[in-house]
Amino acid sequence: MPTVRHPETIHVWGCFSSKGVGLLKILHKNTAETGQEGVMDLEEPKKMTREDWRKKKELEEQRKLGNAPAEVDEEGKDINPHIPQYIASVPWYIDPSKRPTLKHQRPQAEKQYNFSAIGEWYKRGVQDKPVSTKFRKGACENCGAMTHKKKDCLERPRKVGAKFSGTEIAQDEHQQIQLSLDYDGKRDRWNGYDPDEHMRIVEEYSKVDLAKRTLKAQRLQEELATGKLVDQTVSTVEEHNSEDEDEDKYADDIDMPGQNFDSKRRITVRNLRIREDIAKYLRNLDPNSAYYDPKTRAMRENPYSNTGKNPEEVGYAGDNFARYTGDTISMAQTQLFAWEAYERGTDVHLQADPTKLELLHQSYKVKKEDFKGQQKESILEKYGGQQHLEVPPRELLLAQTEDYVEYSRHGAVIKGQEKAIARSKYEEDVLINNHTCIWGSYWKDGIWGYKCCHSLVKQSYCTGEAGKKTTVSSCVPFEEGLEDELKEEVPKTLLELHQEKIKEKKKKNKKHKKKGGDSSDEEDDSKKKEKLKKALDAEEYRLKQVAEMMQVDERKRPYHSLKEVREPTEEEMEAFRMKRSRPDDPMASFLSQ
């Protein structure tokens, strides 16, 4: 408390008494000189000295021992000296007087409210008065009741209201009074309940039961009259009479798995485990399998994990497998989204704001799908490939069929259609032009042909055995190096190329004969043969070196980086092609022979 200076005071400070009331102590100058303390206007309990405190304690001890008279309250009654101080002390807000009393421990006079009586409730229905035959002023213009207006009327709007017709005046409703219920009256769940309503339900069910019994007795009499149940009369009557008895006497015969009926309390108790079920610890007796906790009777892991069985095929796959079903996964995903959103600055919590979190999660999913769709569209616009995405759904690609097939122990088909062999995109076993064999079934001098007629011309007409006898193997295989012909849009057949080569040779021969240049051509051919022979010898020498080098350890092989590198000549390329090994060629062994 701040200190306040006064011209006639030495100092001012604030103190608090034991009753919680702040009092100001002011010491005057004159009292400070004389050593006495003055109090201005405010009352303050005097501070007890050590001697006064000792005397007070001695007096309390004497009163407890009975040597001193007890304190007396305002009514003249003695106060028990053994009452603790925290009970005997009077709060400052109840009794400002300083005299000893226990009045604050007795029931205080409370303000009495005019609560409604027990059982009083809002009235229902209409008033028990004779119905008026005339329209009264101020009544409802639609039905004629005095307790409401036209806008509050719950009756169907009439074509001609009661104000103008003056007929069918409705009865007045009970005026609902405003009840003032106490604390218990507001919380009474049965307040205002009409027990007559329950009696109506009881009477309805009793009438239905009586009708059933009457109908059954009538049917029984008809069957007895016709003579159908002469021998079973006694048993039928006993069965009819047994329906009136209590059905609980048959409860002991109930033999359902997992149920236990207590005849004393007439309740059904569910056992902890059905006796027919296998205990968790008996599913796999391997000690290294899933751990079973006997205290909680829990086996969290899959007991069949070391057997290689699918968890969906076994009857029990552990408590965790059942726990992670339903909405557990979606709840975990929502919790993960809440944590990620909180890290990015969005204040959201799964337990505190579940609705807000769910809305945020749904909007996030929608935006994510939209972003993926836009990204996919942009990629397709840039690179194309939409036709590859238009494929049948996965369910149709791996669809099941109703084809019934039975197999033997060795895999042979006993019944049903055998599975079709997968074929390539090219046509297979297609015979054209009277051929009995396909193209490529015959091979001669590096050229493919038809085996049925030994024709080396593709798409030719089959001549049969006559073609085999008259065939002439003067066909030269198509050679490489004709760049101009490869660049043409429509490729030429082998027959056309062969005919063109023959024509070119004939033209050259005619020119050489006219010019008399036969000797120069022979010289050029001899030079080419010599160059080719040298290239073949060099290629054989190179292959021998490579074979010898492959037998040497790779760490001891010489370094060949300083060898001369140049473009090979035509003769060297031809020698390389001739000496090159072709292990994948199916006719390699035939050519070597």
Which tens digit of pLDDT belongs to each residue from 173-200? 887 778 888 888 888 888 888 888 899 9
The answer to whether 180 and 116 are in contact (CB under 8 A) is yes
- State yes or no: pLDDT of 401 exceeds 60: yes
- How far CA 488 is from CA of 71, 447, 482, 491, 498, in Å, comes to 135, 23, 11, 6, 17
Closest CA to 118 of 196, 198, 188, 195: 188
Name the region of 50 (left: φ>0; alpha: ψ -120 to 50; beta: rest): alpha
User: Rounded to 5 degrees, what are φ and ψ at 31?
Assistant: -70, -30
Summarize pLDDT for 473-483 with one digit per residue, the tens: 444 444 444 44
Q: Best-predicted range by mean pLDDT among 208-222, 254-268, 458-472? A: 208-222
The answer to whether 303 and 289 are in contact (CB under 8 A) is yes
Separation CA 236–CA 222 (nearest Å): 13
pTM over 0.85: no
Q: Which residues pair with 90 in a beta bridge?
A: none
Separation CA 552–CA 547 (nearest Å): 9
Place of tokens 């229905």: 125
Separation CA 554–CA 150 (nearest Å): 113
Of the CA atoms within 13 Å of residue 429, those in its CB half-sphere come to 2
Of the CA atoms within 13 Å of residue 171, those in its CB half-sphere come to 10
Label residue 574 by pLDDT band (50, 70, 90): confident
Helix (H, G, I), strand (E, B) or coil at 349: coil
Label residue 346 by pLDDT band (50, 70, 90): confident
Label residue 390 by pLDDT band (50, 70, 90): confident
Quick one: CA torsion of 89, 94, 97, 101, rounded to 10 degrees?
-50
Separation CA 511–CA 521 (nearest Å): 12
Which pLDDT value is given to residue 361?
A: 93
SS percent in the chain: helix, strand, coil, step 5: 40, 5, 55
Separation CA 320–CA 66 (nearest Å): 75
- State yes or no: pLDDT of 462 exceeds 80: yes
Q: Which residues pair with 173 in a beta bridge?
A: 126
Closest CA to 446 of 540, 572, 578: 578
Q: At what angle do helices 354-383 and 328-343 cross, to 10 degrees?
A: 80
Q: Which residues contact 437 (CB under 8 A, 6 or more apart)?
A: 431, 450, 451, 452
- State yes or no: pLDDT of 245 exceeds 70: no
